[in-house]
Amino acid sequence: MHNLEKKPRIAVHKFSSCDGCQLAFLNLGGDLLELTRRVEIMHFLEAGLDAPEAEVDIAFVEGSLSTQDEIERIRKVRESSRYLITIGACATAGGLQALRNLDNQHEQWRDAIYAKPEFIKTLNHARPIADEVRVDFELWGCPINSRQLLAAINSLLFGVPPIDDRDKVCLECKRQQRVCVMVTEDKPCLGPVTRTGCGALCPSFGRDCYGCYGPADNPNTASLSKRFAGLGLLPQAIARRFLLINSAAPAFHDAGLIARSGVSGDDSDD
């Protein structure tokens, strides 16, 4: 890890996404002003800065690769950036758009949804950024939050690699002394296989985690699926738990397909 220049330059690029992760910057409020004392923001369309070609020290990339144009664009971003950090589920694992990868009916969906499908130029599969270019660090989440973002920026500004926290949501849920919704209410919580970072947000409001931070270290999706079946979930319902925000992340993808095949323990059918 190299030390960055005196006032490092950053860019925030958007690909196929809802713009929600970029809000992690804008939601910083006063801290955003503080941040601009330490870094120079070169490109950030959502904040009104338009210089996509600028050479930067850190490029934050939101969104998946969904069009041919985006594939060309990400290569240019990579070339003009010292570090490239993906922000959010779309950039890191394909996001919701990657649901279209699952049934191989890209054209049928496109034609059914859009009034003028001939203007839509999308790839059959939505892909994570790392499929195309080297990614230096990934921030998971749908959306990411300002805490994660600041931690990553701060680490880089201090010249150390950001901490890659792959612990499960459960650890944070217990630190916050939340009552387990699976044990007390039979809710099919994905916390035991999902990466921490959200602050155990859903269980804090009495609902089950739906895995928006993607797979944690060492996720035992087979055992959790079996438990969900024990709670009364049918195979299709179990599959939908895994095939949602991060359906293209390998651990969730495989678990979803296994559940969908209805035969726990078999290899996935892809």
Partner 1 sequence: METPGFLPMARLQTLIDTLIDDGFRCVAPQVRDGAILYDTLDKVKQLPKGVTQEQSNGRYRLHQTDSTRNFAWANGPQAIKPLTFAPREELWYSEVKSDGSLKFYQAPTETEPVAILGVRACDLAALALQDQHFQHSFPDPYYDARRKRLLLIAVHCTHPAETCFCASTGDGPEARSGYDLSLYETDLGYFVTAGSLAGEMLLHRLPLEAGDAALFAAARGETGAAADAQQRQLPEGDLQAMLFGNLNHPQWQAVAERCLSCGNCTQVCPTCFCHSENSVPSISGQSTAHERQWDSCFSPGHSYIHGITLRKDTASRYRQWLTHKFGSWHEQYGRSGCVGCGRCISWCPVGIDPTEELAVICKDSAGDSA
> Can residue 170 be called a binding residue for partner 1 (CB under 8 A)?
yes
> Can residue 227 be called a binding residue for partner 1 (CB under 8 A)?
yes
Smallest gap from Cβ 21 to partner 1, in A, equals 18
> Can residue 185 be called a binding residue for partner 1 (CB under 8 A)?
yes
| 88 or 191: CB nearest partner 1 | 191
**CB of 180 within 8 A of CB of 58?**
no
- Residue 143 falls in which region: left (phi positive, over 0), alpha (psi -120 to 50) or beta: beta
Among 105, 108, 223, 236, interactor with partner 1 by CB under 8 A: 223
**CB of 1 within 8 A of CB of 161?**
yes
Among 115, 183, 269, 270, interactor with partner 1 by CB under 8 A: 183
Chain centroid, CA 225 distance in Å = 22
d(CA 173, CA 195): 12
Smallest gap from Cβ 121 to partner 1, in A, equals 40
Smallest gap from Cβ 176 to partner 1, in A, equals 7
> Can residue 226 be called a binding residue for partner 1 (CB under 8 A)?
yes
| 70 or 138: CB nearest partner 1 | 138
**CB of 95 within 8 A of CB of 89?**
yes
Smallest gap from Cβ 96 to partner 1, in A, equals 26
- Signed CA dihedral, 242, 243, 244, 245: sign only: positive
Q: Report 145-164 residues binding partner 1 (CB under 8 A).
A: 150-151, 154, 157-158, 163
d(CA 242, CA 139): 19
> Can residue 206 be called a binding residue for partner 1 (CB under 8 A)?
yes
| 61 or 149: CB nearest partner 1 | 149
Smallest gap from Cβ 20 to partner 1, in A, equals 21
Residues 5-24, mask of contacts with partner 1 (x by CB under 8 A): --------------------
> Can residue 29 be called a binding residue for partner 1 (CB under 8 A)?
no
Among 99, 171, 229, 237, interactor with partner 1 by CB under 8 A: 171
> In the complex, which residues of this chain contact partner 1 (CB under 8 A)?
28, 31, 34-35, 37-38, 150-151, 154, 157-158, 163, 166-168, 170-171, 174-180, 182-185, 189, 191-193, 206, 217-218, 220, 222-224, 226-227
